[in-house]
Amino acid sequence: MICPLAGTQKLTSLGVCRSYLVAVDANSCVFYQSTESTLRWRNWLPVDVAANHICLSYSAKQLWRLLKGTVYQGVDANANCPVAQRWNSVDSGVASIGIVQLHFIHGVEDYVWLLYINGTLCCQPLSISSTTSNEKVTLAAPDGAQVICCRANQVWLLTDNGELYHRQQIDPEHPQGVDWQRVETGDEVIVISVALSPSNQIWILSKSKELFYRESNDPTWWEVILPQECWASKSNNWTEKVSSLFKRNNSEFLLAVAENRIFVGQSASSDISIGEHLTGYAWKRVGWTVGCNSNVVDGPVWKILDSSGLNDTQRRIIWLMDSKNRLYCYHQHQLEHISLPTDTTVVHLAVAMSYLWLLTEAGDVFVRAGNSNPIGNGWVQLSTLQFHPNNQLCHVALGMEVAWACDHRGQVYYRCGENGPPTLMPPAWIQVDDVDISFRKIYVGPFNAMVWALDANDDIYIREGILPNFPIGTNWMKIEGIQAVQLCLSESAVWALSTTGCIYRRGGISDRSRAGQVWQTIPGLFSFISVSIDEKVWALDVQGSVFQLSCSSPLKSIYSKCNDVKDDPLRVEDWETGWVLL
C-alpha cells in the first residue's frame, strides 16, 4: 500500500529493532515495515495506535510509546510489528524514553529510563526479582538534558546545546550507574541527533551535517560520508534527491541504527535515507620528531611526503622534506636524516619501490644511489641537457622501469629504462604528443598501467591506450567532477587533493575501466597527500604535521561476499556511495 510517509507527512520519530523499522509522522500516525523487505516506500504498513515517539528494545520485547507527554508501555508486544495486546499508561510530563537491558546470573532484566520535560531523570526496573525492586530512582541529569538514548547497558544523553554525556558504570551492581561523563566530540562539533547500534556503537549527527560513530570503549570518532559529499556517476539518478535531504536547514534529524543499516530521516521531510556497507574514516597524528625542524607546539614542520617506497626486503620507506629543505627517511621505526646533493630547494620527490629521484627548483634531477643499502648511500645527477638552456623539467614521476615528466612549457615526456643511477648511455626523453593542453604535473601507477596528469587549470586527465607492449599510450581524456592540485596513484585507485584541501578517492578502477566511475569524498582538510602501494594514506596538514588514515566498516554486511571488508574496506569497488533513498 502507499504510505502517507511517501507523500506530504513529515517524520517525528524513527526507530528500528531486529525485525522491523518504525516511523511516526506529524499526525501521530505510526507505520512500519519489515527489515527483511526491500525497504521501499510502498512497503509501509499502518498501525492502529497514535504516538509522537516510539521506543523499543532491539529484540522488540520492550515496546513503549510517547503521546503528548504521556508514556505508555506495550504489554505482550509483537516481535514482528509495533503492536501490543494493550497499552498501560505509566507517567506524564515525559520528554524522552530509553530501555536498558542488564545481564544477571538469573537472566536479563529491563529498565526504563524516563527524561521528563522539567529536566528530571528517573530509572525504574520493569521486573521484580530477588536482586531488584520496582522502585523508581530519581537521578541528577546534566543541565539542558533533551534526549536520552539507551541500548543494552549503555545510556547516553544529549543536551539542548549539543553536548553529549555518557552514564558511567551501569552494571548489575549499579543499575543506575554512578555518574555522568561528558564525551568530547571534536572541535566545533555540535551534536543534533544520537542513536545506538545493536553492538553499542554510538552514532551522532552534527549541526554541520557530519555523521560520526565510535565504539563504547574506544574514544576514536570515525566519520562516515553523507550523500551530498559524494560525486556520483550520472546513472545514479537518486543521488540528487538523497543529497537534498541533508542540505535542508532548520529541521530536526532522526537516526536509527540496525546491525547492517543506518536510517537517517528529517522532520521537514517524509524521506528516509538508508546507509549500507559504509566506511568510517579517522585521521591519526604521527609523532615523528627525531632530529627534525620542529616548532614548540606542533612538532615537525614537513612540506613533502612520499610513502610509496619499499626497500630490498619489501619494508615500507617514507621519504620526507621539512620546511628547511632537509631530507629524512623513515624506515624500521626510526627517522634518519639524509644529506642532499645540492643546496638548491627541492620541489618534488619521485619514488617507485626502492628508487628515489629529487627534482630541484632549477630543474635538476638527482638519483639516489646504492640500492644495496636499504635507503641508499649517495647521489648521481641525471643529465637533463636536452631541456637546457631555454627549458627545464617541473615535475617527474617514476614507474616500473619507466619515467614521465612535464616541462615548464606544459609538454609531457616519457622515457623507458632503468630508474637507478644513470649509465654512460642513459635513456632519452621522448616528447609524448603535441596537444593543446599545458600540463604541469604527471603521475604514474606502481605497475605502469595508469598515467594521470594535471594541467595548468587544475583539471585532471588520464592517459588512455596504455598497454604492456605500448606503454606510451594513445591520447589524453579529461576526468570531470573535481579540480586538483595533487594526485596519488595506488594499485587500484587514484587519490586527489582538491584546490580547497579536500581529499577524493576515484573508485571503480579496474583493467576494464582505468578511468574509474566516481569520486568518493574522504574527510579532512590537508595540504599534501601520499598513498602507498597497499592503499595506506598519509597526509600533511597546513601546520606540517603528519597524519595517517585509518578505515573501519561499522555495519555488518548483508552479503556473504563482504566478510573481508573489515580488513580492507577501501578495496570494495562495486558499492558506490552506500546510500539509498527510501
Specify whether 254 is located in the same domain as 375.
no
> Of the candidates 253, 277, 301, which is a domain's last residue?
277
> Of the candidates 229, 257, 277, which is a domain's last residue?
277
pLDDT in tens, 157-179: 999 999 999 999 999 889 999 99
Specify whether 267 is located in the same domain as 334.
no
35 to 7, 80, 169, 274, 442: CA distances (angstroms): 21, 10, 32, 12, 48
> Of the candidates 224, 257, 277, which is a domain's last residue?
277
pLDDT in tens, 116-137: 999 999 999 987 654 556 678 9
- Split into its structural domains, the chain has a count of 2
Specify whether 472 is located in the same domain as 498.
yes
What pLDDT does residue 106 have?
76
Specify whether 228 is located in the same domain as 322.
no
Judge whether 572 lies within some domain: no
Specify whether 323 is located in the same domain as 369.
yes
Specify whether 265 is located in the same domain as 322.
no
pLDDT in tens, 476-488: 999 999 999 999 9
Which is nearest to 142 in space by CA: 119, 162, 122, 113?
119
Specify whether 420 is located in the same domain as 365.
yes
CATH number at residue 316: 2.130.10.30
Task: Please check the confidence at residue 245 and state whether its pLDDT lies above 60.
Answer: no
What pLDDT does residue 423 have?
79
Specify whether 254 is located in the same domain as 380.
no
Judge whether 360 lies within some domain: yes
Q: Which is more confident, 291 or 224?
A: 224
pLDDT in tens, 231-243: 333 323 223 344 4
Specify whether 163 is located in the same domain as 287.
no
C-alpha cell at 539: 597526509
In degrees rounded to 5, what are phi and psi of residue 372? -65, -25
Asked if residues 137 and 176 have their Cβ atoms less than 8 Å apart, the reply is yes
- The whole-angstrom distance between residue 279's C-alpha and the CA centroid of its chain comes to 5
The whole domain housing 161 covers: 4-64+146-277
Specify whether 290 is located in the same domain as 270.
no
Specify whether 151 is located in the same domain as 250.
yes
Specify whether 258 is located in the same domain as 358.
no
Q: What is the pTM of this model?
A: 0.85
- Name the residue type at position 134: N
Asked if residues 275 and 576 have their Cβ atoms less than 8 Å apart, the reply is no
Maximum CA extent, the chain:
93
Task: Please check the confidence at residue 7 and state whether its pLDDT lies above 50.
Answer: no
Asked if residues 289 and 259 have their Cβ atoms less than 8 Å apart, the reply is no
Judge whether 394 lies within some domain: yes
Judge whether 412 lies within some domain: yes
Judge whether 34 lies within some domain: yes
